[in-house]
C-alpha cells in the first residue's frame, strides 16, 4: 500500500512539474503561443466551452460513435477469438482474414468506409469497430492457446465432455486476457473516433478539433485533446483495476 501511495504521489508531482514548466515556457514565449497554448489559457477555454451547448452535442456524437463501435467489437470479437482458438477448423477458416486485416492500416480504409457509409456516425462506428476488434479477438485467441493443459487432461480423465471443459476451464481462463484486449481496444477505439471525425464529419470532438485548428484557436483545440486523453485514462484505469482482480485466473504457463 505504501509503495502504491508513493508511486501515486510521484506521478502527481511529475505531472505538476510538467505543467509548471509548460506554463513557464509559455509565459516567457520560449514556445510560439500561436501553436501551443499555456495550461492556464487551456483551463480558461475549458471553463467557457463546458457552458456551450455545441460542446456537449459534439461529446454526445463522439460518445455514441465510440460506444456503438466498441460494443460491436466486443460482441463479435470475443466469440470469434474464443472459437478460433478452441477449434482448429474454424481457426483455419477465419485466421487468414484476421491476419490480413490486422496488418492493413485501418486509416487507409477510411475513404472506402466513408464512401460506403457516408460522413455521418455510421462510418465512424465502422472504423471504431475495426480498430478495437483486433486487440480483442487476438487476446481471445491467445487465451485459448495458453490454457493449462494439465487441467484439461485431468478433466478428461474424469470423463468430462468437451463442452464441460470449454465451459468450466477454457472460458474462465480467457477473462484476464479478454480484459487486457478490451483495455487495448479502448485506446484504439478513441483514436478511431477522432481520426474518423477529422477526416470527414459534421459533428463530434474530432470535427471540433478541425474547426478550432482552422481558426487557430489552439487553446480550444487542446481542450478537445484533453477530453479524449482524460476519457482514455479513466476507461483504461477502470479496466486495469478489473484486470488485476482477475489476474489470478491466468494459467501458470502464460
Provide DSSP, 127-195. Answer: HHHHHHHHHHHHHHHHHHHT--HHHHHHHHHTT--HHHHIIIIIHHHHHHHHHHHHHHHHHHHHHHHHH
Hey, what's the cell of 140? 481471445
Show Cβ contacts of residue 172 under 8 Å, excluding neighbours closer than 6 positions.
Answer: 249
Whether the predicted pLDDT of 250 surpasses 60: no
Q: What is the pLDDT of residue 246?
A: 65
Is residue 167 within 8 Å of residue 201, measured between CB atoms?
no
pLDDT band of residue 8 (cuts 50, 70, 90) is confident
pLDDT band of residue 249 (cuts 50, 70, 90) is low
Question: Which residue shows C-alpha cell 483495455?
Answer: 183
Show Cβ contacts of residue 33 under 8 Å, excluding neighbours closer than 6 positions.
Answer: 26, 218
109, with CB counted inside 10 A (0-12, 13-18, 19+), is middle
Q: Which percentage of the chain shows pLDDT scores above 70?
A: 90
pLDDT band of residue 73 (cuts 50, 70, 90) is very high
249, with CB counted inside 10 A (0-12, 13-18, 19+), is middle
What pTM was computed for the model? 0.81
Q: What is the pLDDT of residue 128?
A: 92
Q: What is the pLDDT of residue 69?
A: 93
Q: What is the mean pLDDT of the chain?
A: 82
CA dihedral sign of residues 123, 127, 130, 132 = negative
Q: What is the pLDDT of residue 44?
A: 87
pLDDT band of residue 76 (cuts 50, 70, 90) is very high
- Nearest-CA neighbor of 198 among 106, 80, 94, 119? 119
Q: So what CATH class is 35-249?
A: mainly alpha
Amino acid at each position: 500500500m505504501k509503495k502504491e501511495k508513493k508511486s501515486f504521489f510521484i506521478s502527481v508531482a511529475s505531472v505538476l512539474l510538467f505543467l509548471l514548466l509548460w506554463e513557464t515556457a509559455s509565459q516567457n514565449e520560449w514556445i510560439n503561443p500561436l501553436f501551443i497554448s499555456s495550461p492556464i489559457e487551456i483551463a480558461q477555454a475549458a471553463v467557457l466551452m463546458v457552458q456551450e451547448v455545441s460542446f456537449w452535442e459534439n461529446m454526445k456524437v463522439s460518445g455514441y460513435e465510440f460506444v456503438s463501435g466498441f460494443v460491436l467489437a466486443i460482441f463479435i470479437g470475443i466469440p470469434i477469438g474464443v472459437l478460433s482458438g478452441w477449434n482448429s477448423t474454424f481457426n483455419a477458416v477465419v485466421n487468414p482474414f484476421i491476419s490480413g486485416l490486422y496488418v492493413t492500416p485501418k486509416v487507409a480504409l477510411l475513404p472506402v468506409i466513408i464512401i460506403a457509409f457516408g460522413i455521418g456516425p455510421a462510418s465512424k462506428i465502422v472504423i471504431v469497430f475495426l480498430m478495437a476488434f483486433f486487440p480483442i479477438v487476438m487476446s481471445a485467441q491467445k487465451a485459448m492457446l495458453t490454457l493449462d493443459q494439465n487441467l484439461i487432461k485431468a478433466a478428461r480423465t474424469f470423463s468430462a465432455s468437451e463442452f464441460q471443459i470449454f465451459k468450466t476451464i477454457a472460458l474462465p481462463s480467457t477473462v484476464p486476457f479478454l480484459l487486457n484486449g478490451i483495455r487495448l481496444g479502448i485506446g484504439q477505439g478513441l483514436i478511431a473516433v477522432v481520426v474518423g471525425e477529422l477526416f470527414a464529419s459534421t459533428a463530434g470532438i474530432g470535427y471540433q478539433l478541425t474547426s478550432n485548428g482552422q481558426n487557430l484557436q489552439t487553446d480550444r483545440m487542446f481542450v478537445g485533446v484533453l477530453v479524449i486523453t482524460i476519457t482514455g485514462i479513466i476507461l483504461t484505469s477502470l479496466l486495469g483495476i478489473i484486470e488485476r482482480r482477475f489476474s489470478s485466473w491466468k494459467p501458470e504457463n502464460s
